[in-house]
Amino acid sequence: MRNVINFNSDWLFCKTSEVPSVVPAGWEPVSLPHTWNAMDGQDGGNDYWRGTAMYCKSFARPELEKGGRAYLQINGAANIADVYLNGRKLGHHEGGYSSFLADLTDALFDENLLCVVVSNAENDYVYPQKADFTFYGGLYRDVTMITVPAFHFVGIPGIHVTPVADVANHTARVTVETWVAGADSVCIRISGECRNVAVADGYASTCVILDHVRLWNGTEDPYLYTATAQIYCDGEIVDEISARFGCRTIRFDPQKGFFLNGSEYPLRGVSRHQDREGIGNALTMKEHQEDLALIREIGANTVRLAHYQHAQEFYDLCDESGIIVWAEIPYITEHMPGGRANTLSQMRELIQQCYNHPSVVCWGLSNEITVGGMSDDLMENHRELNDLAHALDHTRPTTMAHAFMLEKDSPLIDIADIGSYNLYFGWYLGTLEQNDAFFDEYHAKYPRRCIGFSEYGADANPRFQSASPEQGDYSETYQCMYHEHILNLIETRPWLWATHLWNLFDFAADGRDEGGKKGINQKGLVTFDRKIRKDAFYLYKAAWNRKDPFVHLCGSRYADRAESETEIKVYSNQEQVSLIVDGKAVAQQHGKNVFTFRIPITGEHKVTAIAGDCTDSIMIRRVGQANSAYRFGSGSGVSNWFDEEGFDSSCFSIRDTMGALMQNPKTAGIVGALMEKARASRGDVAKSAGSNASLQKMMAGMSLQSILRQAGEHVVPPEAVKQLNAALQKIKK
């Protein structure tokens, strides 16, 4: 039988590329999972260490049966890895998010030195290279040595199960495929009976009909079967592998959205990056389980596992919980002519390794890949990717996440089977209403296209609060306002086949420096350490989690309030909320999800919300001056940017549009330099976007003042805006 030996312990680590011939001295002892960017990858400055490092481990010759093999399985080496055993190169892998094998057998000694060279250095052929997240380097998932007898199953996972459910007749036709070395037959069983199948050219498959099938029915009933494949030799089982699978049907309707098992099932959920404060992407099952629990708590029925292949453990958890998954490869932001082979190999590995998961319903080809511009090579790359995905899996559609500036009539959109857009109107630019208008216009123009909402969000630092929230102020208050608008958008458009809030969790983007936290994207509804559920988390919990009654008072972190009458906002999945102030019932409301009250404040008050058997309380106090700690931008207190007078309309000013300002050579010079600075604060994606023609077109119609407001005071402080305006006012139109 196969023997899977955990190889996570007793490694030696060093930032070198010279493969040692003996066990190296003085290297750092580490255990896996490990990343060398756990700290510098999330502290800002876009300066985390990217380079080549090495992990070495010594081990004794494993016991092998005659003809047996010993494979090393690495589940995550970011981003490029070379495997050496006793100085001999046995494997090379490009792509930091999938599993791969190296055959150690022929290089084994009695005492062995295994070295894995890993690199996350910049290059122009392995994705990702430009994106809004940290490309942590390291052996950041489990490593195992797998010994197998001469007759054994081959590959990861070595078994594919394709269930085709007939919901009306409660049956399923299940095809089981296996890949085999040595043996001439295998035994395949699902719930009991063994089916003997001949092996031809290393491949064996069979088809089993299941009667009275129990469906994999999303979060309601995510029922899983197990298919097992065995190899017998002289009446003994010599190798065995198994795979869980779920019987379900999926359908994507342009007018009605997503269907699961023949019933409308609007996919409403969140996205997740695989990292955590203090440990980077070197996650263990504990972190995976915590994240999945939060996805279930908010009541999401889908998760977009962005922007790459996640750990198998997480897809397993989604299978078990009935959470539907958008899986994707990191073909992202900027197309690289030399990267086509890598997109194909990453897509091949994603599909082969995630094929059996019933939770996965689509394969994402790319994310905002046109930010860096369009090209024929980019289009051809997508056609090849799309064809490969269809060849490897005829049961799931391909999709793409488009950047908001991609024209709706772009030919790129027609390549994938279904599509989605990432929109940030009401955060990066424009107004919240533009999100509604965008989708309504798109849906009216393309009624036969399936369209989803693959990203939307607004940053919030829980420290920042406001009685008058504004776009771009990084306050928890604005994040709630933003999401209340979007929640209404997605609830009133069932034809959006899926919506994925960006992001359930704050995550590391070392190039960022905004909202009072360096290196962190704060669009999460949960903080990077998973310790705080921001107020907006409870809005979606109210709308989506219909099982666990709760009531949540927003503003627990907004204790000091300068206003004489203040807003008290409550989120609850109960229909009736009562408000108690200092022990006295003051109001009661009947409604859905959001309950807003206004109360006078004079001193210190205890505010309690009651809904059914649930209560929540906060303490607030009236203060004379707004607490500057609540306001991002050093609390300069400059709420109005300008006194209105002093604008000479015969000259340029910040109130002119970008288009007008960029047309005049004098004003273009002044403004161009400033925009470069504003982009630099948003990391690599913004730098790529700088050259994006359609983004420039969109911004041409916006006033410089609105763009600066969005960039935030930390990028362009009010004093600098005044100086800029004074300079522009010297230039006659």
Strands (E) across 623-666 are located at none
Work out whether 521 is an interface residue with ligand GCU (CB under 6 A).
yes
Identify which of residues 132 and 275 has a Cβ nearer to ligand GCU in the complex.
132
Q: Quick one: which of 291, 368, 476, 713 contacts ligand GCU (CB under 6 A)?
A: 368
Work out whether 679 is an interface residue with ligand GCU (CB under 6 A).
no
Shortest CB 353 distance to ligand GCU, Å: 23
Q: What are 133's two structure tokens?
A: 């997240």
CA distances from 110 to 59, 227, 713 (A): 9, 37, 64
Q: What is the CA radius of gyration of the chain?
A: 28
Bridge partner list, 593: 572
Work out whether 275 is an interface residue with ligand GCU (CB under 6 A).
no
Q: Is there a catalytic annotation at residue 368?
A: yes
Q: What are 196's two structure tokens?
A: 């003997």
Q: Quick one: which of 129, 352, 367, 667 contacts ligand GCU (CB under 6 A)?
A: 367
Residue 360: alpha-carbon gap to chain centroid? 14
Work out whether 422 is an interface residue with ligand GCU (CB under 6 A).
yes
Residue closest to ligand GCU when measured from CB atoms: 132
Shortest CB 357 distance to ligand GCU, Å: 23
Identify which of residues 271 and 345 has a Cβ nearer to ligand GCU in the complex.
271
Residue 195: alpha-carbon gap to chain centroid? 40
Element (DSSP H or E) covering residue 208: strand 203-210
Element (DSSP H or E) covering residue 597: strand 593-600
Q: What are 527's two structure tokens?
A: 């903080």
Which residue out of 334, 368, 455, 484 is catalytically annotated? 368
Identify which of residues 287 and 514 has a Cβ nearer to ligand GCU in the complex.
514
Distance separating alpha carbons of residues 662 and 702, to the nearest angstrom: 12
Give the number of other CB atoms < 10 A from CB of residue 652.
24
Distance separating alpha carbons of residues 429 and 327, to the nearest angstrom: 28
Bridge partner list, 517: 514
Q: What are 220's two structure tokens?
A: 């309601």
Residues in region 106-135 near ligand GCU by CB under 6 A: 131-132
In single-letter form, the type of residue at position 421 comes to: Y
CA dihedral 509, 514, 517, 523 (to 10 degrees): -60
Give the number of other CB atoms < 10 A from CB of residue 111.
11
Identify which of residues 75 and 271 has a Cβ nearer to ligand GCU in the complex.
271
Identify which of residues 328 and 656 has a Cβ nearer to ligand GCU in the complex.
328
* Count of residues interacting with ligand GCU (CB under 6 A): 10
Distance separating alpha carbons of residues 417 and 389, to the nearest angstrom: 11
Shortest CB 695 distance to ligand GCU, Å: 12
Work out whether 523 is an interface residue with ligand GCU (CB under 6 A).
yes
Residue whose entry in the numeric block shows the structure tokens 């400055």: 45
Residue whose entry in the numeric block shows the structure tokens 């592998």: 241
Identify which of residues 85 and 405 has a Cβ nearer to ligand GCU in the complex.
405
Binding mask 684-723 for ligand GCU (x = CB under 6 A): ----------------------------------------
Binding mask 291-310 for ligand GCU (x = CB under 6 A): ----------------x---
In single-letter form, the type of residue at position 54 comes to: M
Residues in region 474-503 near ligand GCU by CB under 6 A: 502
Identify which of residues 43 and 65 has a Cβ nearer to ligand GCU in the complex.
43
Enumerate binding residues for ligand GCU (CB under 6 A): 131-132, 307, 367-368, 422, 455, 502, 521, 523
Active site residues: 368
